[in-house]
Structure 1
Amino acid sequence: MRWSSIFQAAVLAGAANAAPAEVPAGTKTISKRQSTSRYVFAHFMMGIITDRTSSADYDADMQKAKALGIDAFALNVAPDTSVNYTQQLVYAYDSAASNDMKVFISFDFNSGYWSTSDPAAVGARIAAFGSHSAQLKVDDKAFVSSFVGDGLDVTAMKDAAGIDVFFAPNFNPGSTADDFTLIDGLFSWYAWPTDGSNNPPSASSTYLPTNADTDYTNKIGDVSKYVARKPEAPICPPVSPWFFTHFQDTDSFAGKNWLYPADDLWFTRWNEILALGSRFVEIVTWNDYGESHYIGPLSSKHYDDGNSKWTNDMPHGGWADIAAPFIAAYKAGATAVTADHVTATGGEKVVYWFRPQPKGLDCASTDNVGSAPDGSDLVADSVFVVTLLTSEATLTVTSGSNAAQTFTAAPGANIFEVPMATGTQSFKVTRDDGATVVFSGDAPKQVSSTCVCGIYNFNAFVGMLPAGAVDSLDTDGLSRFTEGLKVSTCSPTPTLTANAKRGVAEARVTAV
């Protein structure tokens, strides 16, 4: 909505500045956690969480992100229309304050949302929340970002905000519509291999996240005021684990049916971030279930936009556990994850992921969309395993009927890939020539030889040893599960509970 009412903005500012709850004794404040000049953000989609009715509904997300070392959520918002983003921002800011987290607004300028021709409305929204105690400040300025927004009058926006703003938008580095001397940083959305536009890469056109890193660094480096300011470039590169979307014609996002190849991207991209050494990094995303790049819990309260067909029984929490030691290494200025980073972030783990069915299955006759996602030929039928270890160990992986494969895993973070076969996926880590079993267990989900629920599902199942708590979609998150399904063999009910309990029982942890 247009924020033309000074009174309305003042009321919201007052609500947003309510006194935060007391931080529990012994909890590290963000200033103590933030021991370097580097910041880690996670993109948080606000449009699907309007079933939240209080700040307490955000607490679990804040606490989980804080435990991983994330400094702030980038709250992706549009103007108030069918969604009351203002109320949800109040809840999120208050929860962040209660949990010693930070947040900031990421203005979504996608078609029909914020308008680049109305910088005053953008500035008014910043004014309403920019002085809240939970507002992230960088260089004593309220940090603000965007999704696209090229052509915005930055001076008018900052004038309307009425406070000092550190503006790091997602402008295209090749844009001719923007004066880059007016911004303070740049955020890239090129998190996956693409063709440079909104399509999977091809042999004739491939644009990698590292290409964007270079383009954004060069663009911001051309601005003289940054040359001697910080050793780290003030760009905010993205790191994302996956991309798969499969909406049918009746959904709000009709026509979204593609993937970007991301088999081992979560691991390789974090290592690229360590080598890059930028001042900021943003995880894309915490909760965008519709595009399958969530690392937050399935249980995080949200409405179903149609994604539950490919997200039910597909937790990604193990990817969050991989992020923790990489975040620790990034903030320390290290170029690799070491045993010390593993120890400092929860100890040894094994994280694995695989798709629920091979890419060659023909599901066209029963699929809700009717065709495989564009780019489906670009992914590998493989199981990926990341070891987070404090000392050398032996990893054994057995995928279905394939012969077991054994690897030597060094201390720190390492990745391994084995061919995927249908059936049970088994993992074991040993030491002392096999005499000491550190972890052992089967994945609670199998690779199927048939089309699960009749659809093409190119999402990833992410598991971990030792096995964590069961993570499931709730009723709101499953509300549109049956829409468009052409088979009657699936119901909107999580099915991993019993299998996950078996996995916990089989996982054995031996003190080393």
Structure 2
Amino acid sequence: MLKLTASFASLLLATRLAAAQSVIAHYMAQQLYSYEDQHITADIQQAQALGIEAFVLNIAKMDYEVEKIQNVVYPAAERLGFKLLYSIDTGYDWTTGDIVTLVSATAKSNATYLWDGKPLLSSFSPSRDGYGDSFWADVKSGLKSGGVDVVLAPALIHVGAEQLKSEWQSPDGFMNWWAWPSDTADNLTTTQDLDYQAVVAERTGPYMMGVSPWQFKNLAGQAWIQNSDYLYKYRWEQAINEVKPDIVELITWNDYGESHYMIDINPIVGLDPDSTKYINGVDHTAWQVMTKYYISWFKACLGSSAAKKRSLPRDGPPTRITRPEYRDLRPNPARFDGACSTVTVTVTAGGESNTSTPASTPSSSETPASTDAPASTETPAPTETPSSTVSSSSPPETTPTQAPSTGGSCTAPAFDKDVLVWYFRIYPKDIVCTPGGTVPRNQDLVSDQIFAWAGLSAPATVRIDAGNVTGSYELDAGAHIVAIPFPTTDETPYFQIIRDGAPVVSGHATATILHSNCTYYDMNARVGQLDSVEASA
């Protein structure tokens, strides 16, 4: 790889500092068919409240999407001080002329997202002939001949870093779409990010890093899930502590079909009939609690050290990768997330309690007392006595594996109040559904667990109860994920944050673990938040 001279590195540093680090969100323009001003205004204001600066408009065709973007979305964004850019979906048919016409029409709008003073143009590019480097070079030249000079940062999902360097000269930057592990139980590392980033450092555009909370799809005969159990927390921390990208692109704001939306279901959006079987009534707004926290951390920590790192690629040639590389980061029972002095998981069987504290964790003071989980009217009564099982759970390690030292430190923001985000699937991964639709690929790669992301203002105990399973975790202030195994009976989980012997946050989930009556394979996450003590009945 070409080494950067000190003067060129300084120039890159100045350029990248001029373009502040941003968080943007992928937005499916196909959902706009029935949208009017009030609908897009609500989306934009919700995004702005989280610290999101722009929507990346995934556009598939020159049809109603264009009309809605130009006549509804852009006017609202201009009024609200929000930014927009295009992601051309080349899974559909495009000509260079179509793209030139589309981009030129809004290039001068004050709502167009600029990189180094130029409109930023991206793409979603599945493996398809006809949209290679020469195609995008023609797009850029066509725009330039009309007075529009763009910065191109495509998502070329089957192009590795070495190929990007040697065969793709038209991109100025790059968007890494791989925000999930790919068909593996292992968790995603930053190897591919850093390889792409090293290539982009020799160009003038941004390195854009995909971050996503979940992925599951079961429609039109396509069904899969990717391992997302601890994904959202560790992927954000990779962005903050290791990669330090120019731009984080959240995947997505509103792609319901792949289950990585972070809003409630908008009733005016027409959904595929299959997707409604795992989407209807499944509100993902609680992902926004985590999103806002990590955006504030990302922006607070990415100053000159981030820009400096982006201007200095690591030594050696980039690795040829067409899929992410991984290391084994699966949960290790001997390690728990953050500062955790005691972990106790209790499973009750036949009226007796079996309690386990892992031998690898040091002893500590007695766990604060807490109340047992109150009865929930939504919780079905156990139908059988479960067998005795003791298990514990921990998140993956997130120690940097490839990133060079960036100097300085990056301190996580403190919480001024306690908050808990719970999430889980409602069916065990090996359940048989009838008629069921398509059996999801990778269903055996995920874990049957109930998760709680806790944001703690001070040390506390986080407790999860679900039928015969109870997990109790003593944690320091900060953000943590803890989990317990699925109960063996149908149960509605109950969550508590306990401090000084009393719950300060508590409540039931609004979803129930089910072991039967599955009519469609549904591995979408149920997500909710608790930030106060649940009122007693």
Q: Could you state the TM-score of these two structures normalised by the residue count of structure 1?
A: 0.73
Q: Say whether residues 1:220 and 2:200 are aligned partners.
A: yes
- State the Cα distance separating 1:220 from its structure 2 match: 1.8
1:278 maps to: 245
Aligned: 1:330 with 2:397: no
Query: Who is 1:366 aligned against?
Result: 435
**Does structure 1 residue 246 correspond to structure 2 residue 218?**
yes
Rounded to whole Å, the distance in 1 between the matches of 2:442 and 2:170 is 38
The structural deviation recorded for 1:305 is: 1.6
Inter-CA distance 157–504: structure 2 relative to 1 (3 Å threshold): farther
Aligned-partner SS, 1:315: coil
Tell me whether 1:38 sits opposite 2:104 in the alignment: no
Shift of 1:66: 0.4
Question: What SS does the corresponding residue of 1:317 show, helix, strand or coil?
Answer: coil
Query: Contact between 1:143 and 1:166, CA under 8 Å: does it hold in 2?
Result: yes
Please report how far the alpha carbon of residue 35 of structure 1 lies from its aligned counterpart in structure 2 after TM superposition: 11
**In structure 2, which of residues 517, 523, 536 is the aligned counterpart of residue 458 of structure 1?**
523
Flag the 1:332–1:181 CA change in 2: closer, same or farther, 3 A: farther
1:96 to 77, 87, 90: 77
Unaligned runs of 5+ in 2: 1-16, 126-130, 303-408
> Secondary structure of the residue that 2:84 maps to in structure 1?
strand
Distance 2:411 2:285 in 1: 19
Indicate which of 305, 320, 328 corresponds to 2:272. Answer: 305
Structure 1 segments of 4+ aligned residues over 2 angstroms from their partners:
83-90, 118-121, 149-156, 158-162, 171-184, 206-212, 334-340, 503-507
1:77 correspondence with 2:54: no
Shift of 1:505: 4.1
8 Å CA contact 1:189, 1:237 repeated in 2: yes
* Of 59, 68, 82, the match for 2:41: 59
Determine the C-alpha separation between the residues in 1 that align with 2:137 and 2:454. 48
Aligned-partner Cα distance in 2 for 1:331–1:423: 39
Q: Distance in 1 between matches of 2:523 and 2:421?
A: 19
**Alignment partner of 1:395 out of 462, 469, 477:** 462
Residue 338 of structure 1: how far off its partner (Å): 2.9
8 Å contact kept, 1:245–1:291: yes
Q: State the partner residue of 2:176.
A: 188
Shift in alpha-carbon separation, 1:270–1:207, aligned structure 2, 3 A: closer
User: Contact 2:454/2:480 (CA < 8 Å) preserved in 1?
Assistant: yes
Q: CA deviation at 1:258?
A: 1.1
- Is residue 506 of structure 2 the alignment partner of residue 440 of structure 1? yes
Q: Quick one: distance in 1 between partners of 2:19 and 2:49?
A: 17
Answer yes or no: is 1:376 the counterpart of 2:443. yes
Equivalent residue for 1:235? 207
Question: Which amino acid is the alignment partner of residue 54 of structure 2?
Answer: A
- Tell me which residue corresponds to 2:305: none
- Which residue of 1 is the match for residue 394 of structure 2? none
Mapped contact 1:151–1:177 kept (Cα < 8 A)? no
SS at match of 2:67: helix
Percent sequence identity over aligned pairs: 29
User: Is residue 499 of structure 2 the alignment partner of residue 431 of structure 1?
Assistant: yes
CA contact (8 A) 1:150 1:175 kept: no
CA deviations 1:226-272 (Å, max 9, x no partner) are 5xxxxxx931110111111111xxxxxx2311111111111111111
Pairwise CA distance, 1:282: 0.4
SS state at 1:289 partner: coil
On the 8 A contact 2:84/2:112 being kept in 1, the answer is: yes
8 Å CA contact 2:19, 2:116 repeated in 1: no
What amino acid does structure 1 have at the position aligned with 2:435?
T
1:50 aligns with 2:33: yes
The one-letter code matched in structure 1 to 2:485 is P
Over residues 364-396 of structure 1, what are the superposed CA-to-partner deviations in whole Å (9 max), with x where a residue is unaligned?
A: x321x1x42010000100011111122211111
Matching residue of 2:423: 353
1:125 aligns to 2:92 (yes or no): no
Please say if residues 339 and 411 of structure 1, whose CA atoms lie closer than 8 Å, have aligned partners that are also in contact: no
Deviations for 1:460-511, whole angstroms, at most 9, x for unmatched residues?
10011037xxxxxxxxxxxxxxxxxxxxxxxxxxxxxxxxxxx96459xxxx
**Helix, strand or coil at the partner of 1:159:** helix
CA distance in structure 1 between the partners assigned to 2:453 and 2:522 by the alignment: 23
2:495 partner amino acid: F
TM-score (norm 2): 0.70
SS at match of 1:359: coil
2:279, 2:522 → 1: CA distance? 9
> Do 2:462 and 2:474's aligned partners in 1 also have CA atoms closer than 8 Å?
yes
Q: 3-state SS of the aligned residue for 1:273?
A: helix
Matching residue's letter, 2:221:
G
Change beyond 3 A, Cα 1:35–1:332: farther
Alpha-carbon offset, residue 55 of structure 1: 2.3
1:158 Cα offset (Å): 2.4
The one-letter code matched in structure 2 to 1:374 is R
Give distance in 1, aligned partners of 2:166 and 2:239: 27
The amino acid of 2:423's aligned partner reads W
Task: Out of 155-164 and 56-65, give the one that drifted further.
Answer: 155-164
Match of residue 411 from structure 1: 477
The offset of 1:176, in angstroms, is 6.6
Whichever residue aligns with residue 115 of structure 2, its letter is V
- 2:428 is paired with a residue whose SS is coil
Distance of aligned partners of 1:119 and 1:35 in 2 relative to their CA distance in 1, 3 Å threshold? closer
Maintained 8 Å contact 1:61/1:300: no
**Which of the numbers 150, 165, 176 marks the counterpart of 1:165?**
150
Shift of residue 178, structure 1, vs aligned partner:
7.7
Give how far 1:427 is off.
0.5
Q: Retained in 2: the 8 A contact 1:50–1:302?
A: yes
Structure 1 unpaired stretches of 5+: 1-33, 195-199, 227-232, 248-253, 468-502, 508-512
- Name the CA shift for 1:285/1:84 in 2 (closer, same or farther; >3 Å): closer
Q: Which amino acid aligns with 1:169?
A: P
Q: 1:39 to 1:506 in 2, by over 3 A?
A: farther
- Contact between 2:418 and 2:505, CA under 8 Å: does it hold in 1? no
Cα RMSD over matched residues? 2.6
Partners in 2 of 1:240 and 1:74 — Cα distance? 14
The separation in 1 between residues aligned to 2:410 and 2:516, in whole angstroms, is: 40
Partner of 1:153, secondary structure, is helix
Provide closer, same or farther for how the CA distance between residues 121 and 281 of structure 1 changes in structure 2, counting only shifts above 3 A: same
Does the aligned pair in 2 maintain the 1:187–1:236 contact within 8 Å?
yes
Partner of 2:190, secondary structure, is: helix
Deviation at 1:438, TM superposition (A): 1.2
Q: Hey, what's the Cα distance between the residues in 2 that align with 1:263 and 1:59? A: 32
Deviation at 1:348, TM superposition (A): 2.9
Q: How does 1:16-31 map to 2 (within 5 A)?
A: none
One-letter code of the match for 1:315?
Answer: D
Partner residue of 1:288?
A: 255
